[in-house]
């Protein structure tokens, strides 16, 4: 271990010289990795914001169960108990028709203020129901609608279900695509290191004959892979670091509507950039290690 630590500066210099000697191969590999990591970075940023959109939409998903005006106060209490016994109910809140009208006026302006006069309020008293699992909101709505005393339910309908499903699909398949890009980067680095090894076969054979350790032969290649991975991550990190804040500021942090809030660049972007460099270095190390390990096993 002590010998390995003492040899690190020399091994690093060797890796740097080899990269300069085979710059064209290293550059083409880092460029390919950069493209893969750029696509992965775009997908990570998109997936993170889509996940935020999904959480925002799901947090706003509530069932409004309108109570029939003929239901007495005792009947409302019984309705509350019946609703609370339905599976997947997280909370129930009673809202009078006066409260509903006040909220309507606050959200849409004074156009509805004419209904504030006594006897002109056309709204119903409602129970605002929050479910534990937003995916079950349609099922819960159907159960609530069947209760005697409920004149109707509203939660946004199939359009909301489709939106949540779309966001969930984008989040799921985006993650799979990012994983595919990482495997592609490993494959590219592995092939680059294999070509470098092929060019230096005679030099490595001489090192083997004079008794060089396997780690002494393989470590420079691993360092080369890590450096190639870091180079490949630099341009995607630069593009993401400049492009996302510009887009965030241009859109004022809002995508389409206030319901879809973009994730603030700090600290999200810092972790994304660090993650890109980490992935680049780790994929470079893994790809070069796989190539070198196979060669060292074969040379024996």
Query: Do 11 and 223 form a contact (C-beta atoms < 8 A)?
Result: yes
Banded model confidence at residue 299, pLDDT cuts 50, 70, 90: very low
d(CA 188, CA 245): 30
For residues 147-158, average pLDDT: 78
Cα 188 from chain centre: 25
pLDDT score recorded for residue 107: 67
> Is the pLDDT at 28 greater than 50, yes or no?
yes
Of the chain, the percentage scoring pLDDT greater than 70 comes to: 75
For residues 154-176, average pLDDT: 67
Residue entry with tokens 């995916």: 135
Q: Mapping DSSP to helix (H, G, I), strand (E, B) and coil, where does residue 253 land?
A: coil
Q: What share of the chain is helix, strand, coil (3-state, %, to 5)?
A: 75, 10, 15
pLDDT digits (tens, 9 = 90+) for 85-128: 888 888 888 888 778 777 777 766 666 666 666 566 778 889 88
Query: Do 226 and 286 form a contact (C-beta atoms < 8 A)?
Result: no
Name which of 36-40, 155-159, 169-173, 191-195 the model is least confident about: 155-159
Residue entry with tokens 């592995």: 190
pLDDT score recorded for residue 108: 67
Name which of 5-9, 157-161, 203-207, 230-234 the model is least confident about: 157-161
pLDDT digits (tens, 9 = 90+) for 201-251: 676 677 777 776 777 777 887 888 888 888 888 888 999 889 889 988 888
pLDDT score recorded for residue 181: 72
More confident residue, 263 or 180: 263
Structural domains in the chain plus CATH codes: 2-57+168-299 (no CATH), 62-154 (3.30.70.3040)
Query: Do 195 and 25 form a contact (C-beta atoms < 8 A)?
Result: yes
d(CA 233, CA 276): 6
pLDDT score recorded for residue 71: 85
pLDDT digits (tens, 9 = 90+) for 52-63: 777 776 666 788
Query: Do 230 and 281 form a contact (C-beta atoms < 8 A)?
Result: yes
Q: DSSP letters along 116-166, please?
A: GSTT------EEEEEES-GGGHHHHHHHHHTSTTEEEEES-THHHHHHHHH
Q: Mapping DSSP to helix (H, G, I), strand (E, B) and coil, where does residue 91 land?
A: strand
Banded model confidence at residue 67, pLDDT cuts 50, 70, 90: confident
Of the chain, the percentage scoring pLDDT greater than 90 comes to: 1
Summary mean pLDDT of the chain: 77
Q: How many other C-beta atoms lie within 10 A of the C-beta of residue 196?
A: 24
For residues 176-196, average pLDDT: 72
């Amino acid at each position: 271990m002590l010998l390995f630590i003492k040899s690190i500066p020399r091994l690093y210099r060797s890796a740097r010289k080899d990269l300069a000697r085979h710059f064209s191969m290293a550059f083409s590999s880092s460029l390919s990795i950069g493209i893969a990591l750029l696509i992965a970075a775009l997908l990570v940023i998109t997936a993170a914001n889509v996940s935020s959109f999904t959480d925002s939409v799901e947090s706003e998903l509530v069932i409004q169960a309108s109570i029939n005006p003929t239901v007495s106060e005792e009947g409302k209490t019984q309705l509350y108990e019946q609703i609370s016994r339905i599976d997947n109910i997280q909370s129930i809140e009673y809202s009078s028709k006066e409260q509903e009208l006040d909220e309507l006026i606050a959200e849409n302006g004074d156009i509805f203020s004419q209904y504030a006069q006594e006897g002109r309020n056309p709204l119903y008293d409602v129970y605002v129901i929050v479910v534990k699992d937003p995916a079950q909101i349609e099922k819960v709505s159907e159960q609530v609608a069947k209760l005697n005393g409920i004149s109707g339910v509203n939660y946004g309908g199939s359009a909301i279900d489709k939106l949540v499903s779309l966001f969930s699909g984008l989040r799921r398949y985006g993650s799979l695509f990012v994983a595919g890009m990482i495997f592609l980067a490993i494959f590219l680095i592995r092939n680059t290191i294999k070509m470098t090894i092929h060019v230096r076969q005679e030099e490595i054979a001489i090192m083997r004959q004079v008794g060089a350790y396997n780690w002494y032969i393989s470590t420079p290649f691993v360092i080369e892979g890590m450096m190639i991975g870091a180079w490949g991550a630099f341009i995607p990190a630069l593009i993401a670091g400049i492009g996302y804040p510009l887009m965030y500021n241009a859109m004022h942090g809002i995508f389409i509507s206030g319901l879809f809030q973009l994730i603030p660049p700090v600290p999200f972007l810092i972790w994304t950039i660090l993650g890109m460099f980490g992935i680049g270095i780790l994929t470079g190390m893994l790809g070069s290690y796989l190539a070198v390990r196979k060669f060292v096993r074969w040379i024996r």
